[in-house]
Chains A and B, each alone.
Chain A
Amino acid sequence: MIRRVVCALAIGGIGILVLGWAAGLGWRTPLVPQQRIVLPAHDFRVVMGAGVEDGEALRVAAVGDDGDALQSIALDHLRAEDFPLLRYRFDGFPRTLELSLIFRRADAPADVQAVTIPWPGKGWTTLDLRGVPGWRGEIVELGFSEYATPQIVPQSVAFRPFRFDGAQLWSPSWRGGLAALGTAWFGYTPWALLSVSALGPALETAKTPPLLPYLVVAVVLGLAAAALVLRWRRPRLLRAAVIAAASTWAALDLAWLSDLHAKHRLTEHLYVGKPWPDRARLVPDQDTEAAAEQIKAYLATQPPVHHLLVASDSTYTKLRLLYLLLPLNVAPLALAGEAPLPRDALLLLYASDTWRYDEGRGLLVAGNRTIPALPLYESGAARLYRLRSTPP
């Protein structure tokens, strides 16, 4: 019996040690934070969008013209390393929005540092700022920015009013460190373009310790401790190892299922109950989709197009446009290199500052490169030209 109690204590101790290691906590780290800075939401200034005080809280009712909302507060030269834990609480924060932490340092007041932080669920969310690049020196301003989740949520349906309850900055503590670990390991992350290649955190977000290696270390050390204390022979140890591996797999799988369910809730929120034509238009790049439809409608009234070249400053936008314009005979201009372009081909420039049209010479110009062309159609960020063999 004593051995079993010792074994349970040893496994518990190993668990705590591994958690502390993962959270970057030491023996001398206090259990609760020694210093806390409370930042009530009503003290935040609304920089973008609109918000009204709601008791201690701030009710954010609208976004700015560019679809972003931003609230910030000035800080009195706060030493970043003294306060590595950020806690924040929102109520009714829409699943369609992403949250960023914004801050300025005294050594570079003109530089606004921004980093994507975990989506706030219910209650307080805690973030370890030691993984945030740029969180050092003296902080003179801190804020939160909300915007449509990139790559996945159409801006037109992203915003819904929510309440910002407040934020706190904590000095290091076991309580805060473990809470931050919980956010890092079990917090919700939306689908991203990278999801199909890797389920790790997006590169631009705060760096957080991964769950898997620490879990494996804890399980291996726990097994070793049990084998030593309980004097397990090989068959018993093997059986325990198999059970531990199966349980760990099942636990990881439960966490993944929960994450998948959370990801799917956004999809349901965006698309359920809508017919396909509406869903087809409900894409994150609605402007590009609308432009493609306009171009297709325009070209449907023109003689058949044999070659339609497409260029945009953004690779993503260009490729999306190419797909959305199908079945027109499209190709990216960049792929042509310096090769001669077909006479009477069309060139679509979309959201491109690289190319400008020299009306006097009848040339499209990008750096040293020129293409003789005549403007055909223009709408919003889309400009369509017919290529010519020689300038007029």
Chain B
Amino acid sequence: MSAMGLVAWLLPLAAGTALWLALDPRRGPGWIAAAFGHGGVFGLLLAAAATAVFARADTTHAVARAAPALAAFALLAGLVAWRRRRRAPVEPAPAEKIHKWTMGLVALAFASLAARGWLALREIVLRPTFPWDAWDAWAVKSKTWYLLGHYAPFVPMGEWLRDPSGAVYTGVAWSYPATLGWVQVWFAAGAGGWIEPAVNLPWFLLWLGLLAGHYGQWRALGLDCLRAGLGVYLLGSLPLLTVHVALAGYADLWVATVFGFGVLAWLRYRWRGERMQALVAAACALTLPLLKLEGAVWLLLMAAVAGLGLLPRRSRHYVVAGVLAALLLGFALGKLVLPLVMLGWVRVGPHAIDVPVLGALSIAWHPGAFAGTLASLFAQPNWHLLWWLAPLVVAWRWRRLRAAAPLCQLALLLALGLAFLLFLFLFTDAARWAESYTAINRLVMHLVPALLTLLMLLLGDRSPARPDTTPAPAARSSPR
């Protein structure tokens, strides 16, 4: 790997980790995993932002152009993190008695994760970009910008046809968000050419970040290391998640990761009262539409559920009833209009949904899609036992769910998300994507890490304690 390649990998990791530690100076169980996981993912997104801002005019040398700004950011965030961590109290990890045989099982589980990680990494490193949308949609802008040597706007076909200069580009995915494109430009510049394995490698870091970030946050939310480790195994073993790493290039794993991180941060804010985590949750939610257009729907749902959670208990029922009545009335009259970031003003009526950048989806019941949906979740080997076990765990731990308001909100968010997906795939033209299995699992994937969070926290035996705000003595060592 060249020096530029090394910088392209290490600098985002440093910047992301510094940012995370500045936002979360906690010295408690799982902090290293949380810092690595979030640092890796946030670092990739910071690299994309830096490339988009500082390397537009010279994408070929994107790393050289954007690295100084990213390095300055990393230094500044590192300084803040250092100062905040000095004052942060140490949260001792609760004493846990772990049997040797349990450790053996955990070691086996991690060995199996390592094995699939290795296979996925080799797939990325060896093959040219393979999955359809990876080259047809997601890599189009990045390849164009990198090989052109500069940014060029992507516009609708009509505009492209009318433009005599040839300075604008178009394509079937012209309206897709450009964030992942900028990530790929950064890594292409780091590799010194449009080398597809190099531009797809961030997906491997993303997977590692997803697993480590969830482990760290689950520990912070009160899970013991065994349960958190089990959760990481369950998440990492899901076949379709591994496929999205091995056959890298789609945006869905990014959405799933950022959605999952947003949920975890929100839970920490609600449960432990850490305000900076609310900031992380908001940033994650706002990033979703910048990754994939469907992210706008998740942003809307997250905002709605978070807003509901912040309302006083008394007024909550009135607000919900009022909003539902307004939505139903608007739906029945065909006047329901929802502002969705990146999608525009989406009009929902009894016969059709009109999405400006996607077109109209007519509303009708599609029985064939029902079979496709059932097969996707309960018969095909996409999710192991996840969708069989999820309702059983919720039923089993119903009391714990009812007793914990943050978990109730998460359950509500997931229920609304699933309801949206079921409506989309059973009652609109998108049904054909459920019947052909081409989209349903990928959209379901967005919710899966958050679903695992709900299930693991339901299976936990204690609620997270509020952090001690007493400053730590300087000499105390931090737990890992």
Contact = CB atoms under 8 A, between A and B. Distances in A.
A382 to B, nearest CB: 19
A261 B131 CA distance: 18
B239 interface: yes
A283 B406 CA distance: 49
B244 interface: yes
A340 B161 contact: yes
A289 to B, nearest CB: 9
A202 to B, nearest CB: 10
B459 to A, nearest CB: 10
A197 B438 contact: yes
Contact of A329 (B166, B375, B438, B440): B166
Contacts of B164: 306, 342
A40 interface: no
Contacts, number: 171
B110 interface: no
A282 B165 CA distance: 35
B144 A326 contact: yes
B196 A252 contact: no
B319 interface: no
Contacts of A195: 131, 243, 247
B237 A253 contact: yes
B128 A197 contact: no
Contacts of A5: none
Nearest to B385: A249
B366 interface: no
Contacts of A319: 132, 135-136, 172
A1 to B, nearest CB: 26
A320 interface: yes
Given A200-B379, A212-B380, A323-B143, A257 B112 contact: yes
B385 A196 contact: no
Q: Which of B127, B376, B441 has the most CB of A within 10 A?
A: B127
Interface residues of B, number: 65
Given A194-B437, A198-B441, A276 B239 contact: no
A272 interface: yes
Contact of A307 (B126, B134, B166, B380): B166
A252 B385 contact: yes
Contacts of A36: none
A266 to B, nearest CB: 10
Nearest to A344: B164
A257 B171 contact: no
A198 B379 CA distance: 11
B160 A307 contact: yes
Contacts of A254: 112
Q: Which of B115, B116, B171, B381 has the most CB of A within 10 A?
A: B381
Contacts of B237: 249, 253, 256
A306 B167 CA distance: 8
A336 B170 CA distance: 11
Given A194-B437, A271-B126, A306 B165 contact: yes
Interface in B333-354: none
A243 B33 CA distance: 28
Given A193-B132, A322-B171, A327-B143, A211 B381 contact: yes
Given A191-B247, A257-B112, A306-B165, A196 B131 contact: yes
A260 B244 CA distance: 12
Nearest to B436: A203
Contacts of A216: 385, 388
Contact of B157 (A213, A276, A304, A339): A339
A193 B250 CA distance: 12
Contacts of B139: 323
A198 B131 CA distance: 12
A262 to B, nearest CB: 10
A4 interface: no
A95 to B, nearest CB: 14
A196 to B, nearest CB: 4
A236 to B, nearest CB: 15
A336 B130 contact: no
A332 B166 CA distance: 15
Contact of A256 (B134, B160, B239, B440): B239
Contact of A260 (B128, B134, B242, B437): B242
Given A245-B389, A329-B166, A260 B246 contact: yes
Contacts of A259: 381
Q: Which of A191, A197, A267, A276 has the most CB of B within 10 A?
A: A197
A335 B154 CA distance: 14
A305 B368 CA distance: 46
Interface in A196-240: 196-200, 203, 210-213, 216
Contacts of B162: 342
Interface of B: 112, 115-116, 119, 122-123, 126-128, 130-136, 139-140, 143-144, 147-148, 157-158, 160-162, 164-166, 169-172, 195-197, 234, 237, 239-240, 242-244, 246-247, 250, 375-376, 378-382, 384-385, 388-389, 436-442
28 contacts: A193-B130, A195-B243, A196-B132, A197-B438, A197-B442, A198-B240, A198-B382, A198-B440, A211-B381, A212-B381, A212-B385, A216-B385, A252-B381, A256-B239, A276-B195, A304-B166, A307-B160, A307-B166, A316-B132, A319-B135, A320-B135, A322-B136, A323-B136, A329-B166, A335-B172, A339-B158, A339-B161, A340-B161
The 6 closest A-B pairs by CB, nearest first: A306-B166, A198-B437, A200-B380, A327-B147, A271-B126, A210-B379
Given A195-B243, A249-B384, A280-B196, 4 more contacts: A256-B239, A280-B128, A307-B160, A331-B170
Interface of A: 152, 191, 193-200, 203, 210-213, 216, 245, 248-249, 252-257, 259-261, 264, 267-268, 270-272, 276, 279-280, 282-283, 304-307, 316, 319-320, 322-323, 326-327, 329-332, 335-337, 339-342
